[in-house]
Structure 1
Amino acid sequence: MARSPLISVIIPAYNVAPYVRDALASVQAQTFRDFEIIVVNDGSTDSTLAILQGIAATEPRLKIISRPNTGIVGAMNDAIAASSAPFLARMDGDDLCAPQRFERQLAFLQANPAVLLVGSNVEFIDSTAARLKTYAPPHDASAIHTALLAGNSGALIHPAVMGPRRAWTETGGYREAYKFVEDYDLYLRAARLGPLANLDEPLLRYRIHAQSTNYLRRDKQTVLLKELCRDARAHAGLTDSFVFNPSPAHPDAASVYREWAWWAVDGREKATARRYAWRAWRSAPWRIENTRCLLRILRATR
């Protein structure tokens, strides 16, 4: 009987043809080598499956599950069911791992066996892989728990997470009722079993898109986040009059581009900041907020 690898990399993939080759290359380039890669092709209608099959022809660690589209919850649960390793690492088909990611996270988990999930800082990148900024979530268990109970679903970044298998099996895995916030739902249930952590170094380049769930499903996310946050606070015995205050929804693409422009200023990426400020202005030059953003960004990046 073949020995199981130490890490199973879980990747749901839906129409990621422009990115999946680089995403898998970043996994293959890990300094830690004892892993399997399980990609669920979730009913892609582009060339994702063909690209995966081409990679699998020379990568024996890659296992492809291809079936009709069910969404990310079903895809991740299918991948977990097909996995064999004692540790699971999440990844998305359009993100990029730093070469030392698995080595760093596995060493931390082995040194801290009580920890259920460990994430890391991440670099936000756009569809072209241009860097926007580095995001640093809270790092120690207490700060993460406080953030989660305040409704902060970014207390860990989902595709940067690794943990022992029981973080998924003993919590019941991902729940369809909480799709769009399935990561926050998992964190809250895992936090009841043990501490969570983040490493203070960027181990993932996290690609964001204007058409991502975080932008298109913000209203639905807000309802579910509020429900989960309320239940988590009740479970923790908190009876105060906490008011859930989520980030407001973006009304249009220009609002997203303005946000990214300021992120890039924060990340000291001047050219990227100017590019998104111009993109916001061009999308609706008659709107005063776009003009103000452009002028302020141009001043800030001189």
Structure 2
Amino acid sequence: MQTLPLISIIIPCFNQGKYLTECLVSVHSQRYKNYEIVVVNDGSTDAHTNKTISEISHPRIQVLQSRNQGVSAARNLGIKNSTGKYILPLDADDKIGVNFIQQAVELLEKNEDVKVVNCKVGLFGTKNGILPVETYSLEKLLARNFIVVSAIFRRSDFEQTEGYNPNMREGFEDWDFWIALLKDGGAVHTLNDLGFFYRIKRNSRNASVISRREHYRKLRHQIYLNHQDIYSKHLLDPQESFEYELITQSREYKLGTLLLKPIRTLYRLFH
């Protein structure tokens, strides 16, 4: 009987102990059984988190302790101390679906041209829903991120990059990493099933980044600086950019569209 390839699930945790058990249960519920988990305690200061992590005792789980260096460094540390052929980054407050790993590994084993296996994303927490599926292109990825942080990739491809960039400590480190992984080519396949469940919290890190425009501008510029070589080769479609999406999803834009609607209707009637 052929042995299933090992997959390493890397879970950084900074003060997210109240969600960690739920996250781990979602991994243990997988139909795919050849996995290891590396939990990286990224210098948590929360007593509950430290207690929860200290009580982890499972043959498939390795716990690493680190001073707080941010999620990029924590993921890199976890990957360095793992041994799987495939890598799945997973944040401590999120969950994965029962079929995700099995479907992803089967696809990667059969398709050498596929570098990343993405999936449909379900939202839960303070907001529920399913995110629309996006067709991959490198040009679109340079404009905005639409690959979930918990997509699956090969260790061998990871080793061709410098890992998650620590200079993206304040956010968008996954976007920056996908560019690094895919800038020299490779396909991205999105599974039809819901494979990843992203928790929406009132103090969500990405939500706070988006609300602080100047902070967001700084992060966006840092991604450009990290990948000037590839950005210089591609002309971005402004309507595909994250900046454009940010504007169109703003309350101000939606209110303006609503107020202008009757005026535009009248204009069409008389012209």
Q: Same fold (TM over 0.5)?
A: yes
1:175 aligned partner: 165
Q: Kindly provide the amino acid, as one letter, of the partner of residue 134 in structure 1.
A: I
1:197 aligned partner: 189
Offset of 1:224 from its aligned partner? Answer: 2.8
Q: Conserved in 1, the CA contact under 8 Å of 2:87 and 2:155?
A: yes
Higher relative contact order, structure no. (Cα contacts within 8 Å, ≥ 6 residues apart): 2
Matches within 5 A, 1:150-189: 151-153=143-145, 155-158=146-149, 160-179=150-169, 180-189=171-180
Q: Conserved in 1, the CA contact under 8 Å of 2:168 and 2:222?
A: no
Task: Report sequence identity in percent.
Answer: 24
Residues 1:198 and 1:240: Cα distance change in structure 2 (over 3 Å) = closer
Q: Deviations over 1:16-38 (max 9, x none)?
A: 12211111011011100101100
1:22 aligned partner: 22
- Return the alpha-carbon distance in structure 2 between the equivalents of residues 89 and 233 of structure 1: 27
Residues 1:174 and 1:234: Cα distance change in structure 2 (over 3 Å) = closer
1:225 aligned partner: 220
Give unmatched runs, 5+ long, in structure 2. Answer: 259-271
Q: For 1:217, what is the secondary structure of its paired residue?
A: helix
2:207 aligned partner: 215
- Return the alpha-carbon distance in structure 1 between the equivalents of residues 164 and 21 of structure 2: 26
- Return the alpha-carbon distance in structure 2 between the equivalents of residues 7 and 13 of structure 1: 19
Matches within 5 A, 1:228-267: 228=223, 231=227, 234-235=230-231, 237-239=233-235, 242=238, 244=241, 246=243, 247-248=245-246
Q: Kindly provide the amino acid, as one letter, of the partner of residue 181 in structure 1.
A: F
Which 10-residue stretch deviates more, 206-215 or 22-31? Answer: 206-215
- Return the alpha-carbon distance in structure 1 between the equivalents of residues 208 and 38 of structure 2: 27
1:45 aligned partner: 45
Q: Conserved in 1, the CA contact under 8 Å of 2:7 and 2:84?
A: yes
TM-score by length of 1: 0.71
Matches within 5 A, 1:128-139: 132-139=128-135
Give unmatched runs, 5+ long, in structure 1. Answer: 250-254, 257-288, 293-302
Residues 1:83 and 1:241: Cα distance change in structure 2 (over 3 Å) = closer
TM-score by length of 2: 0.79
Q: Are 1:92 and 2:88 matched, yes or no? A: no
Q: Deviations over 1:41-82 (max 9, x none)?
A: 11112222322332x32x200000112211111111110111
Q: For 1:92, what is the secondary structure of its paired residue?
A: coil
Alpha-carbon RMSD? 2.9
Residues 1:192 and 1:26: Cα distance change in structure 2 (over 3 Å) = same
Q: Kindly provide the amino acid, as one letter, of the partner of residue 50 in structure 2.
A: L
Q: Deviations over 1:164-222 (max 9, x none)?
A: 00232211101112231211111111112322222122101110222122122233233
- Return the alpha-carbon distance in structure 2 between the equivalents of residues 21 and 29 of structure 1: 12
Offset of 1:4 from its aligned partner? Answer: 11
Offset of 1:223 from its aligned partner? Answer: 3.1
- Return the alpha-carbon distance in structure 1 between the equivalents of residues 83 and 124 of structure 2: 31
Residues 1:9 and 1:124: Cα distance change in structure 2 (over 3 Å) = same
